[in-house]
Chain A
Amino acid sequence: MANYNIDAKKDMTYDAIVIGSGISGGWAAKELCEKGLNTLVLERGRIVEHVTDYPTMNLDPWDMDYRGRLTPEQRKKHYKNIRSGWVGADTEHFWADDEANPYTEVKPFLWLRGHQMGGKSLLWGKQTYRWSDLDFEANAKDGHGVDWPIRYKDIEPWYTYVEKFAGISGEALGLPQLPDSHFLPPMELNCVEKHIKGRIEKNFPGRNMIIGRVAHLTRPLNGRGQCQYRNRCSRGCPYGAYFSSNAVTLPAANATGKLTIRPYSIVQSVVYDDKKGKATGVRIIDAETNEDLEYSAKIIFVNASTLSTTQILMNSVSNRFENGLGNDSGELGHNLMDHTYRVGASGIVDGFDDKYYKGRRPNGIYIPRYVNLDEKTKSDKFLRGFGYQGGGFRGGNAANIESFGAEYKDSILKPGPWEFFITGFAECLPYHDNKVSLNKEVLDKWGQPTLSIDAEFKENEKALNKQIQEDAVEMLDKAGLKDIVGFDNEHPPGYGVHEMGTARMGKDPKTSVLNKFNQVHGAENVFVTDGACMTSSSCVNPSLTYMALTARAADHAVSELKKRNL
């Protein structure tokens, strides 16, 4: 039990303020507190204590009134979230209220949010991959977007730093396009996955199929227990086996005695002082009392989640920044990206009916990017690339079997056929016209302007998806699967829940919002280290990169503070 200090009444002034307590905000809090700064974390939702606030973590289906089904009232509250397919009665309390927090889809876009302490770090997929120079050089090479102001060598030590504390399991392979992390032992492939790995790697030189690299402990670390293979992660893990702010970074921040976390704090704006030429604090609305309050600090980390962070910057207007904090370039709100998602193939595997597994592994397989790595693998159909996640398991839909009665009933108690699927995640280019803007017509429950989201996948992403599906079918075919179904659910952006961009890093203040240390151009004591900062989207999962960028920026912030540069 962490016993957080939530009393932010006594003190309105701190060394640092962190807006948001999700994956990147939790890291900012930990780093700043450990470096000795009195830090206030502003969280718009409630406190979620590790373990004690995970009410469903041990429930079996029959322990729940409707065994996980949502009531019409719950579906109304989550009328947008439920499109994801992830929201059930077991996790409903960790997804934001769509009715109280509206947004406008100019084009279809799913914006999934977690409005509580820990944010979406309670709900994320835990797939954890380093980016490479293939990613950091991509914009410079093909001219889309602006160049990243950093390269792999700049972030490499910070990847190692955060991995050692977060705990990442995986297998080292030495692939240049997917650098190895500092790994805990990998989880294991099951026999069908091993078999398919062999067939794919033999038939397609240059392609690898590996166990997913994940932020799950496969051995105890810093008092946290290892994964017990229950696969009930999104309800909160009683062992603290997966990385979340609640289990990992916030307890560490709290242990320093430097942390204050204020729940129910909706950030209205960052206060910018025109005379001082820097930000001086943060204005909030108390979500429960509607009271307006202002907190002051020397440095401010904005980690509200990609689009919420940009929403706050847009709301932060001053004489110096009439169009939003740090928006000299006009790029604030632009270049929104997400990965394409749920396009791939699925099939049935024969020959392993006498094999099974024990344990519900919260992880699957990964096929790292193998196109557009070099001249030899260059595609003439699209830029950038894609990777696959997937897995093998005994499934089958017993309702489809054309039978009923005694024999049928006894048969459904046995495991079904082996299924195997792969589903691609493709890089999305940074398009200026994929954007968000403040909507002053539609207000939220607290009378604040909301976001209009206007983004779509374009020709390059469609070409990538076409290749993803074709290759997936071909790989499953060569692996000897039967009843193969290729699919493309044609999800609009947002479904990948990897929304990135809208306050990008760059070398030039004229074309970017943040510098190479994630400082806001023109307000250098404000840092943005969540997904909003991303200059391109890679095709691999971004959360590990947010963690590393945050630790790096916090280190820079404190060093600049000490030099009295901020």
Chain B
Amino acid sequence: MDRRKVLKQTGLLAGATVFGPSLFSLLQSCREEPRLDWKPEFFTEEEALTIAALLDAILPRTETPGALDVKADMFIDKVIAHTYDEKEQQGMRDQIAEFNAQCVKKHGSNFSDLGEAEKNEALKTAEANSGKFSRGVWGTAVGEQEPIGFYRAFKSMALWAYTTSEEIGEKVLNYDPIPGGYEPCKPLSEVGNRWSL
């Protein structure tokens, strides 16, 4: 059954964000493919599924929440919709399309439809071919900055979206909005995870 058709018929693409169990099971029953249960402002459904799959592969749920648990995909959609200009938005679309085109070429389908082993392989390739950020001083890169590919830039954005979410920032990382003083040399064992702010 064609996934798009079902979504159109059930009104999901038209903007329904809340739906009952019967619709849920209808979608579940006719396919195994990933689905989208929210309406993006910027992404197409296909792009949103790609972003979600990438986020879940890079920052999955472990004992702590994963990127999708903190709705990093929805936040990234909002950020691109409201803080990118048209040229930057088109650039994002083109890069996602190119990333998926590579997945199709190598593994036969878009990233979100790949099995776990294929996803891992695709990400390993991306890791090796995506450039590295130069170190920064006061927010500016130092030295020669090599070109950054889509994957590395997206990974950086994913980390930002994840670590600046309220749940991770307040409950998983060490949240201390008013330290009150400075302890210049503290055993890491007394702190644990890094400070969130």
A interface residues, Cβ below 8 angstroms from B: 58, 60-62, 65-67, 69-72, 75, 85-86, 187-191, 193-194, 228-230, 342, 344, 346, 353-361, 394-395, 397-400, 402-406, 408-410, 412-416, 419, 421, 423, 485-487, 489
A58 neighbours in B (Cβ, 8 Å): 177
Q: Which of chain A's residues has its CB closest to B191's CB?
A: A356
The one of A60, A67, A399, A485 that contacts B135, using a Cβ cutoff of 8 Å: A485
A408 touches B165 (CB 8 A): no
Q: Which of chain B's residues has its CB closest to A191's CB?
A: B185
A85 touches B177 (CB 8 A): no
B165 neighbours in A (Cβ, 8 Å): 62
- 28 CB < 8 A contacts A-B: A60-B177, A66-B82, A86-B139, A187-B182, A190-B185, A193-B184, A229-B179, A230-B178, A346-B137, A356-B186, A358-B183, A359-B180, A359-B181, A360-B197, A361-B182, A394-B194, A397-B135, A398-B159, A399-B155, A400-B132, A400-B133, A408-B59, A413-B64, A413-B193, A413-B194, A421-B137, A487-B142, A489-B140
Q: Which of B8-16, B25-33, B36-44, B168-176 contacts A (4 or more CB under 8 A)?
A: B168-176
**A342-B138, A354-B189, A487-B143 known; A67+B164 contact, CB < 8 A:** yes
State the CA gap A355–B194 with chains docked (Å).
12
Counted as pairs of residues, one from A and one from B, with CB atoms less than 8 Å apart, the total is 174
Answer whether residue B147 sits at the interface, using C-beta atoms and an 8 A cutoff: no
Q: Which of chain A's residues has its CB closest to B172's CB?
A: A413
State the CA gap A357–B193 with chains docked (Å).
12
CB distance from B91 to the nearest CB of A (A): 14
State the CA gap A190–B188 with chains docked (Å).
13
B interface residues, Cβ below 8 angstroms from A: 57-60, 62-64, 66, 75, 78-79, 82-85, 120, 123, 127-128, 132-140, 142-143, 152, 155-156, 159-160, 163-166, 169-170, 172-173, 176-189, 191, 193-195, 197
B164 neighbours in A (Cβ, 8 Å): 61-62, 67
B58 touches A409 (CB 8 A): yes
CB distance from A469 to the nearest CB of B (A): 11
The one of B60, B75, B185 that contacts A406, using a Cβ cutoff of 8 Å: B60
B139 neighbours in A (Cβ, 8 Å): 85-86
Q: Which of chain B's residues has its CB closest to A343's CB?
A: B142
B66 touches A409 (CB 8 A): yes
B178 touches A354 (CB 8 A): no
A397 touches B133 (CB 8 A): yes
B177 touches A414 (CB 8 A): no
B58 neighbours in A (Cβ, 8 Å): 404-405, 408-409
Interface-central residue, B134, B137, B143, by most chain A CB under 10 Å: B137
State the CA gap A406–B194 with chains docked (Å).
18
A355 touches B186 (CB 8 A): yes
State the CA gap A355–B78 with chains docked (Å).
38
A344 neighbours in B (Cβ, 8 Å): 137
State the CA gap A122–B151 with chains docked (Å).
38
Q: Which of chain A's residues has its CB closest to B163's CB?
A: A412
State the CA gap A65–B166 with chains docked (Å).
12
Which 5 A/B pairs are nearest by Cβ-Cβ distance?
A: A487-B142, A359-B179, A191-B185, A359-B182, A399-B156
CB distance from B167 to the nearest CB of A (A): 9
Q: A61-B169, A487-B137 given. 10 additional CB < 8 A pairs?
A: A66-B82, A230-B177, A342-B140, A355-B187, A358-B176, A360-B197, A409-B58, A409-B60, A414-B193, A414-B194
Interface-central residue, B75, B82, B135, B195, by most chain A CB under 10 Å: B135
CB distance from A308 to the nearest CB of B (A): 25
B75 neighbours in A (Cβ, 8 Å): 67
**A66-B82, A344-B137 known; A485+B142 contact, CB < 8 A:** yes
B177 touches A423 (CB 8 A): no
**A62-B166, A71-B82, A228-B179 known; A486+B143 contact, CB < 8 A:** yes
B185 touches A485 (CB 8 A): no
**A404-B58, A412-B159 known; A399+B152 contact, CB < 8 A:** yes
B156 touches A397 (CB 8 A): yes
B194 neighbours in A (Cβ, 8 Å): 394, 413-416
State the CA gap A414–B195 with chains docked (Å).
9
B84 touches A72 (CB 8 A): yes
CB distance from A53 to the nearest CB of B (A): 20
The one of A75, A228, A395 that contacts B180, using a Cβ cutoff of 8 Å: A228
State the CA gap A86–B139 with chains docked (Å).
8
CB distance from B63 to the nearest CB of A (A): 8
A486 neighbours in B (Cβ, 8 Å): 143
Q: Which of chain A's residues has its CB closest to B59's CB?
A: A409
B83 touches A405 (CB 8 A): no
State the CA gap A357–B177 with chains docked (Å).
15
A357 touches B137 (CB 8 A): no
**A62-B166, A419-B135 known; A85+B79 contact, CB < 8 A:** no
CB distance from A7 to the nearest CB of B (A): 37
**A229-B182, A355-B186 known; A404+B62 contact, CB < 8 A:** no
CB distance from B116 to the nearest CB of A (A): 10
State the CA gap A18–B140 with chains docked (Å).
37
The one of B64, B156, B188, B191 that contacts A353, using a Cβ cutoff of 8 Å: B188
**A353-B188, A485-B143 known; A346+B135 contact, CB < 8 A:** yes
Q: Which of chain A's residues has its CB closest to B188's CB?
A: A356
B137 neighbours in A (Cβ, 8 Å): 342, 344, 346, 421, 423, 487
B138 touches A85 (CB 8 A): yes
CB distance from A57 to the nearest CB of B (A): 11
State the CA gap A409–B182 with chains docked (Å).
28
State the CA gap A69–B84 with chains docked (Å).
10
B188 touches A355 (CB 8 A): yes
B185 neighbours in A (Cβ, 8 Å): 190-191, 194, 355, 357
Q: Which of chain B's residues has its CB closest to A63's CB?
A: B166
The one of B60, B63, B83, B155 that contacts A71, using a Cβ cutoff of 8 Å: B83
A188 touches B184 (CB 8 A): yes
CB distance from A433 to the nearest CB of B (A): 29
A357 neighbours in B (Cβ, 8 Å): 182-186
State the CA gap A402–B78 with chains docked (Å).
27
B82 touches A190 (CB 8 A): no
State the CA gap A360–B175 with chains docked (Å).
12
B179 touches A190 (CB 8 A): no
B79 neighbours in A (Cβ, 8 Å): 66-67, 69
State the CA gap A188–B185 with chains docked (Å).
10
B187 touches A356 (CB 8 A): yes
**A399-B156, A423-B137 known; A409+B177 contact, CB < 8 A:** no
The one of B60, B176, B197 that contacts A405, using a Cβ cutoff of 8 Å: B60
The one of A190, A356, A416, A485 that contacts B134, using a Cβ cutoff of 8 Å: A485
B179 neighbours in A (Cβ, 8 Å): 228-230, 358-360
State the CA gap A116–B119 with chains docked (Å).
53
CB distance from A339 to the nearest CB of B (A): 14
A354 touches B187 (CB 8 A): yes
